[in-house]
Structure 1
């Protein structure tokens, strides 16, 4: 009788450990066929965002990004500028950290640091396109810049 109870306890613990193990499995974002086609695009895309009064320029050179931005990203106005700025700060900090660690992170993905100063108002459009580039990048290259799953 004691052996039977002990067996049930072992089975219960094993089941509990299995449930914990399965629930801790890293989640990967679901990528649609349309998104996969865009990711596999070889057509060169270059987006330049500039503001002469603030003397900055953002250049995004990534095949498929413009098509992804137009067809997959949430529309302008969906997120507030504050939301975009807060996420961009997190993404930029992690991006820049990875640039400084080429032995750990692929230097072909993380080539240059991003100079993004949180107390400068870059405006909605810059923050919108930067945020969406980070989402695009994470989904295309299966990267996680934060603990958040990059969803669209």
Structure 2
């Protein structure tokens, strides 16, 4: 599972890195990075999700439904489909390795908790919107 967190960090860093000719002072960079970093940790479960993605924090605040809107089983089902498709795209040469770098270690039999599933689900939704990707056309609608 720790691979999942590492993957999300690497994806966030890789996708958000772009060449630019604009000079930004360190305090602006620190502020922007703090605003685009979401961290959920649970010491009891020993799982941690850190997503560093430009615009994700704003998207979560403005577009995501509240945590109480979803059941954990709903999020687990969605995440299972998304992770499966994500991992297929990592292994396929048809998809950009810049978007799909590493597989995600997500097992249905493990209880990651509502927070981890909520954050992972919304990252997938955000990713699809931002990069015009459709991770799966056959995800069940509930």
TM-score under structure 2 normalisation? 0.69
Cα distance in 2, alignment partners of residues 79 and 62 from structure 1: 23
Q: Which has the higher contact order (CA 8 A, sep 6+)?
A: 2
CA offset digits 1:6-53 (Å, max 9, x no partner)? xxxxxxxxxxxxxxxxxxxxxxxxxxxxxxxxxxxx944122222233
Alignment of 1:85-124 (within 5 A): 85-101=76-92, 103-124=93-114
Alignment of 1:47-58 (within 5 A): 47-58=38-49
CA offset digits 1:78-120 (Å, max 9, x no partner)? 111110000000000100111112x210111111211111111
* Structure 2 gap segments, 5+ residues each: 1-28
Alignment of 1:1-40 (within 5 A): none
Cα distance in 2, alignment partners of residues 114 and 59 from structure 1: 14
TM-score under structure 1 normalisation? 0.65
Cα distance in 2, alignment partners of residues 90 and 148 from structure 1: 9
Bigger radius of gyration? 1
Structure 1 moving runs of 4+ over 6 Å: none
* Structure 1 gap segments, 5+ residues each: 1-41
SS of 1:77's partner is helix
Cα distance in 1, alignment partners of residues 138 and 58 from structure 2: 24
Paired residue total: 107
Cα distance in 2, alignment partners of residues 86 and 116 from structure 1: 11
